[in-house]
């Protein structure tokens, strides 16, 4: 199995994880520790790992941008 770990920090990592949860696959595990959100994915192939990780990072980027745009006093 191939494995990738993506760690990011957020003001509200539990909220970010909840927003992303509907797109999680069975190969993904997401944890929150303090301000850190960690997603670990395991896939059988390098191509599958790349595709899943790329989708996750794209979704993460959009989710964080939406949260930034809709959070009061965040200009």
Could you list the residue range(s) of the whole structural domain that residue 21 is in?
2-70
CATH of the domain at 55: 3.30.310.50
Residue 75 maps to a domain? no
Residue 62 maps to a domain? yes
* pLDDT of res. 29: 96
Evaluate if pTM is beyond 0.85: yes
Distance CA 50, CA 35 (A): 25
Instruction: Please state the domain count of the chain.
Output: 1
Q: What is the pLDDT along the chain (75 residues), one digit of tens a residue?
A: 999 999 999 999 999 999 999 999 999 999 999 999 999 999 999 999 999 999 999 999 999 999 888 877 655
Residue 46 maps to a domain? yes
Distance CA 35, CA 22 (A): 21
């Amino acid at each position: 199995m191939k494995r990738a770990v993506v760690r990011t920090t957020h003001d509200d990592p539990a909220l970010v994880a909840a927003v992303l949860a509907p797109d999680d696959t069975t190969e993904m595990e997401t944890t929150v520790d303090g301000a850190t959100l960690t997603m670990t994915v395991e896939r059988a192939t390098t191509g599958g790992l790349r595709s899943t990780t790329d989708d996750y990072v794209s979704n993460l980027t959009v989710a964080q941008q939406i949260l930034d745009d809709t959070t009061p006093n965040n200009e």
